[in-house]
Structure 1
């Protein structure tokens, strides 16, 4: 019996798709009403053994094979992924839903699939169809023709016909790879490295939320959108980026999120447009992309960013500098929470109270409750995973939403998203009453304080300069009184202190002033990197570094050199080579 989750997180096999691709099936035993036990290695195509793995537990093979089927992009950098178009049981030819969970296979079960390999660059490569057969101890894949029906000159992303078989041997507990022709050596190496890593991961059986990426959208649709948006907006946005943040990260991250949302909102590419509100929109880049792609939207943030003024009026006119409060209401089909921190729980709550049809896209990051930091309730999970479980199993259902989970491909460790496009079968009045009761129970609504407009700098750089200078001098002089075990060309660097010993040199009032800046002793020492070296919990003086030849010396030399002013031997560097100002120049 083949078992699947009753609710599939990645089910997108539709009847028209099934009928469309059914005629292309070319398996030997497709017409048979009985399960076939014929091995792929016994087919007419001659296969030869390429490599064998180290021994792995037998129960790991179905999981490894399933990952191979659903994540082909991990082996080939040219691939964006694969879309499974058809999935059916061999014996009954009955369609089964494709799930992120591994199917439970018995000895005689055969699962037949048809998938398309999706290239990242659809302007250079065409997709390729593959026929797949999964059994308890064997996976066979036959690469067919290009998916390009237009007769263009696009190169197939994988050249066929090509057949390979992964088989688990019950005797020696190894996985073998057999192919019809020589595979790419890089593919073979990466495959067997992954097999051993995946085997350990399957045995561990984490309790964390685990989900394959791009499970709720077509990989092919997403890939095409992302590639087009990247070429359309990426270079110009990086060129004009006025913020202090890294444009390579933020530009391409928001391009990926925009691509995902467009693929989610318009899966069939029929030109469907929607309305949205991005709560805590930050730089407004996501709003900019979505509006220019034809969607009607609004961006809300408590603080205006410099880049807002660079957007065209059709975008900047829809970016609002205002706080979000419990009374905020917006008439939008989709509410977006993109790394919105303390607003994350408020977005689904306010969406539910605003409209019975509002939908929500959440990309949680820092864990917050309605009135402060989220307190972890599952000690066996990380803070992030515990927060995701809290949202999925408790908070979001109580807001009236069914929760679907997916993973976006962005350069971030926090990339699990939640799509709330369906409501639970519950009267809306009942949901609103429950939410109002929760607000009153946790804390009076009138006490809600949104994020401050001005974000204070709290890294010890705003601390009173006389205080920091006193502490720096005190610690440095104390280090000089200790024996120097590592003299550098006769220059005395003193000894070494642990952080605990350094803290003991600072009185309670001074420590309190430093902590008010969200810093502390270690932050202060690292800010004075030209004086101290902090490594593995130990502190010592640092050998002064020479000025880089092409550096702007005037920027550094506004500050006096601590060694020149305070060290008994002065600074070991000449003024021309020192990054900081010496007394003879400083006093003129």
Structure 2
């Protein structure tokens, strides 16, 4: 920023294009820096409205965070290159690296202030891809992640990263965990302070709310003076207060619009008051009217107003003491809560094989339509043309498309799963030319195993090209890993599990 007299200006310095390296990291383009970033910086510099959130990284040292973040980013950047999920690795990898950096500094400060002799343990509820668990575990914090659906990348982390595929209930307790983590934990977000309070007196929590959920279902707005996001953060904060936590708020430095975290790392009550807090939590949860049950209460000497804030009633700040009837404290915590069950497999692998085969053949015929007239003995083997996914979808009937829309990734996933036939590059679909793979395997020994074709798997499936391509297979029978005819078929053998990749 340049200031002269009463005028100021902004400039952004960027390396020349030849300094951009291809290391799996996305660098901003110079045109974006000039056309987009400078405009936004100028606009933000002129704004005077008061922000409704805390300053970024207000609870930890920014210098420590920057140093830790850069070290973790360098240490785990290779994951970007091998990311097997359909989600964007540029966003999800570096977001989890940033959250891990924040947690590590937060925990380091806690160990110093409380004199803790060891690194904190944790449980990540709704851990998703498990990368945050992997980083924290690799940095010496014992812990595990739990999610209702296993992700493909889980098998790549190695045995030191503990991940479990199972349902999660508010009645599950974690007495051995120092911290519970809810990173975009959806339905579990308001329950995490409750679970932490019930797990042990020393258990703390960290939540990063994203989607808006109440104790049982979607969160319904009750105020119009605030944004929905601000109102929901206040609600989750209120839950923590009712559960007896001192709740702190901070704003993370992550590539997301939902970047405010809430932290409960100390209690407002003594251990001898735990029984009273159980009643307060049960009263508050039922007051959210999520369960359809009635809480009958009597107040000694003072009438309880229906308009009184639920949190205030639950905190016991009215005169007298509520006597809860017709409600079991432990049962109230899970009454009618519907945990998200194990999600059905929707990666096109559960589709009927005849349906998959028909779509594969239909798409292949589209790409090969220009060479259908050629003889199978033609010396110039052709892979036909390439089409975009949208161009291919335009040729498929509506029933087929509707069936594919129910699968994660849809048409693209189905074509990628059939990698014997197709390559999907940059949103365009090509017929695969196995001569290129053969040439690459000669230059780089071992590439065949990396392509997913083990020596024990050769000739266990029929060659699609030998059966369906107008010119047959571009490889000879001896050079092709698939069987040219039934006489070459071998029985399937049990294959060893893929080698785990450690970072």
Q: Which bin holds the TM-score, normalised by the shorter protein?
A: 0.5 to 0.7
Q: 1:552 aligns to what SS in structure 2?
A: helix
Change (3 A) 1:202 1:491: same
Q: 2:283 aligns with which of 433, 446, 455?
A: 433
Structure 1 residue 505 displacement after superposition? 6.6
Structure 1 residue 467 displacement after superposition? 2.1
Counterpart of 2:123 in structure 1 is 278
Q: Following superposition of structure 1 onto structure 2, how do residues 344-359 of structure 1 map, counting pairs within 5 Å?
A: 344-351=189-196, 359=204
Counterpart of 2:339 in structure 1 is 450
Counterpart of 2:320 in structure 1 is none
Matches of 1:552 and 1:391 in 2, distance apart? 51
Matches of 2:94 and 2:480 in 1, distance apart? 34
Indicate yes or no: 2:488 matched with 1:563: no
Matches of 2:370 and 2:381 in 1, distance apart? 15
Counterpart of 1:121 in structure 2 is none
Structure 1 residue 361 displacement after superposition? 1.3
* Contact 1:397–1:424, Cα closer than 8 Å, also in 2: no
Q: Following superposition of structure 1 onto structure 2, how do residues 109-508 of structure 1 map, counting pairs within 5 Å?
A: 166-170=2-6, 173-174=8-9, 198-202=41-45, 213-220=56-63, 256-266=101-111, 271=116, 278-280=123-125, 285=134, 288=137, 301=146, 310=159, 324-329=168-173, 334-351=179-196, 359-364=204-209, 370-371=215-216, 388-400=229-241, 404-408=248-252, 416-421=260-265, 432-438=282-288, 440-441=290-291, 445-452=334-341, 457-478=345-366, 480-481=368-369, 491=382, 493=384, 498-504=391-397, 506-507=399-400
RMSD: 5.9
Matches of 2:222 and 2:369 in 1, distance apart? 49
Matches of 2:191 and 2:257 in 1, distance apart? 23
Matches of 1:307 and 1:543 in 2, distance apart? 26
Matches of 1:256 and 1:347 in 2, distance apart? 21
Change (3 A) 1:571 1:498: same
Counterpart of 1:20 in structure 2 is none
* Contact 2:145–2:164, Cα closer than 8 Å, also in 1: yes
Q: 2:59 aligns to what SS in structure 1?
A: coil
Q: 1:542 aligns with which of 431, 434, 437?
A: 431
Q: 1:360 aligns to what SS in structure 2?
A: strand
Any idea what the Cα deviations from partners look like across 1:102-126, whole Å, max 9, x if unmatched? xxxxxxxxxxxxxxxxxxxxxxxxx
* Contact 1:374–1:387, Cα closer than 8 Å, also in 2: no
Structure 1 residue 347 displacement after superposition? 0.3
Structure 1 residue 565 displacement after superposition? 1.4
Q: Following superposition of structure 1 onto structure 2, how do residues 563-582 of structure 1 map, counting pairs within 5 Å?
A: 563-574=465-476, 581-582=483-484
* Contact 1:230–1:255, Cα closer than 8 Å, also in 2: no
**Larger proportion of helix:** 2
Matches of 2:125 and 2:114 in 1, distance apart? 28
Structure 1 residue 540 displacement after superposition? 5.8
Structure 1 residue 353 displacement after superposition? 6.2
Q: Following superposition of structure 1 onto structure 2, how do residues 19-30 of structure 1 map, counting pairs within 5 Å?
A: none
User: Structure 2: where are the runs of 5+ without partners?
Assistant: 13-29, 270-275, 294-331, 373-378, 491-503
* Contact 1:225–1:263, Cα closer than 8 Å, also in 2: no
Matches of 2:119 and 2:370 in 1, distance apart? 69
Matches of 2:255 and 2:174 in 1, distance apart? 30
Structure 1 residue 459 displacement after superposition? 0.7
Q: Give me the TM-score of the superposition, normalised by structure 2.
A: 0.53
Matches of 1:419 and 1:197 in 2, distance apart? 31
Matches of 2:217 and 2:484 in 1, distance apart? 48
Moved more, 260-269 or 411-420: 411-420
Change (3 A) 1:176 1:345: closer
Structure with greater contact order relative to length (CA < 8 Å, sep ≥ 6): 2
Matches of 1:329 and 1:286 in 2, distance apart? 24
Q: 1:493 aligns to what SS in structure 2?
A: coil
Q: 2:263 aligns to what SS in structure 1?
A: strand
Indicate yes or no: 2:440 matched with 1:552: no
* Contact 2:383–2:430, Cα closer than 8 Å, also in 1: no
Q: 2:264 aligns to what SS in structure 1?
A: strand
Matches of 1:230 and 1:353 in 2, distance apart? 35
Matches of 1:414 and 1:578 in 2, distance apart? 50
Matches of 1:374 and 1:260 in 2, distance apart? 32
Structure 1 residue 584 displacement after superposition? 8.7
Q: 2:410 aligns with which of 520, 530, 552?
A: 520
Matches of 1:344 and 1:388 in 2, distance apart? 14
Structure 1 residue 460 displacement after superposition? 0.6
Q: Following superposition of structure 1 onto structure 2, how do residues 53-132 of structure 1 map, counting pairs within 5 Å?
A: none
Any idea what the Cα deviations from partners look like across 1:350-379, whole Å, max 9, x if unmatched? 34566888643113466655446779999x
Q: 2:414 aligns to what SS in structure 1?
A: helix
* Contact 2:465–2:473, Cα closer than 8 Å, also in 1: yes
Structure 1 residue 334 displacement after superposition? 4.6
Pair member with larger Rg: 1
Q: 1:405 aligns to what SS in structure 2?
A: strand
Matches of 1:481 and 1:276 in 2, distance apart? 59
Structure 1 residue 326 displacement after superposition? 2.8
Any idea what the Cα deviations from partners look like across 1:510-545, whole Å, max 9, x if unmatched? x44x455445334323433554466787x7652524
Q: Following superposition of structure 1 onto structure 2, how do residues 2-21 of structure 1 map, counting pairs within 5 Å?
A: none
Structure 1 residue 448 displacement after superposition? 3.1
* Contact 1:217–1:267, Cα closer than 8 Å, also in 2: no
Matches of 2:478 and 2:220 in 1, distance apart? 54
Matches of 1:568 and 1:176 in 2, distance apart? 59
**Larger proportion of strand:** 1
Any idea what the Cα deviations from partners look like across 1:18-73, whole Å, max 9, x if unmatched? xxxxxxxxxxxxxxxxxxxxxxxxxxxxxxxxxxxxxxxxxxxxxx6xxxxxxxxx
